[in-house]
Copies of this chain bind each other. A is one copy, B any other.
Amino acid sequence: MWLRTKCDMEFDIAVPTPFILMLRLRSGAQQWVASEKYRLQPNVPVSEFTDTYGNLCQRLIAPPGRFAIYTSADVRTADHVDQAPGAPFVEVEYLPDAVLSYLLPSRYCESERFGQMAMSIVADRQLGYDQVKAIETWVRNNIRYEPDTSDEPVSAMEINARGAGVCRDLSHLGIALCRSLSIPARLVVGYLYGLQPMDLHAWFEAYVGGRWYTFDATQTELNGGYVVIGYGRDAADVAIYNQFGPAAYPTYQNIQVQRIEESDV
């Protein structure tokens, strides 16, 4: 399907503030960016670089006053999310080198502390995809999804104790549980068509059966319409924006995802 995504943000900046943005969609095997707009007001100089995960990042200094970011894109994405019940666990020795770092604990995914809990959740499941599905289901059933409730990321341990969280938090817990079973898992940040309420979204991917598969503990069904902005080990790596110095929160944010026809692109 073709989607038109939009993410606009405005900040009220007090002192010149370095930002690292991650708002240019990445094209890859799963999606094709046919059109993209990216405007800044005021129109400050920007430099771009690719981080170690392959995400496109934009560096700039926001000047004092109102600082606005307007982005939109027309993207072709899969109508259906690939699912593969029964896809096997990949023994660590056969994982590609580039996937290994997704086995390690990270800021918000303290995977080394979830071994026992994960074992009990996946008990009796076939190794691989079915284990991850059991984890996704467990998180969906046990951690209440409360959109719009949190600004700061919290970790898998914190969210497990709290029993409720935003999409990012549920994903962190899913990731920590997967990694504790030696299944590589990573956080994905992007858009989801039909998300209620509409917002930026986060989900997770796990590497089983020789490739990455999509999981989302916030949705009861995995429908198509996922658009990837970036991915990494957890929210520390994949922030839509990082700022340095006194924090400036968005004074305005507008996220939209609408379906379009190919002829509209």
Contacts and interface: CB of A to CB of B under 8 A. Distances in A.
Interface of A: 18, 20, 24, 26-29, 32-39, 43, 45-52, 54, 56-61, 76, 91-93, 97, 100-101, 103-107, 109-110, 112, 152, 182, 236-237, 242, 244-245, 262, 265
B38 A37 contact: no
Nearest to A60: B93
A104 B46 contact: no
B52 A52 contact: yes
Contacts of A100: 20, 51, 57
A247 to B, nearest CB: 9
Stoichiometry, as copies per complex, reads 4
Contacts of A112: 152
B49 A32 contact: no
Contacts of A182: 244-245
A48 B28 contact: yes
B43 A262 contact: yes
Contacts of A32: 45-46
Nearest to A50: B50
Given A105-B107, A106-B236, A38 B33 contact: yes
Contacts of A37: 34-35, 265
Given A34-B39, A182-B245, 5 more contacts: A20-B100, A27-B56, A50-B54, A103-B242, A104-B237
Contact of A36 (B26, B36, B59): B36
Contacts of A109: 107
Contacts of A262: 43
Given A76-B43, A92-B18, A112-B152, A49 B104 contact: no
Contacts of A52: 52, 101
A236 B20 CA distance: 24
Contact of A35 (B38, B152, B265): B38
Contacts of A50: 50, 54
A183 B244 CA distance: 10
The 9 A-B residue pairs with the shortest CB-CB distance, nearest first, are A18-B92, A27-B48, A49-B97, A29-B47, A92-B244, A52-B52, A182-B244, A35-B37, A105-B107
A18 B93 CA distance: 6
21 contacts: A18-B92, A26-B48, A27-B46, A27-B47, A28-B47, A28-B48, A29-B45, A33-B38, A34-B37, A35-B35, A35-B39, A37-B265, A43-B262, A51-B97, A60-B93, A101-B237, A103-B242, A104-B107, A105-B236, A107-B107, A112-B152
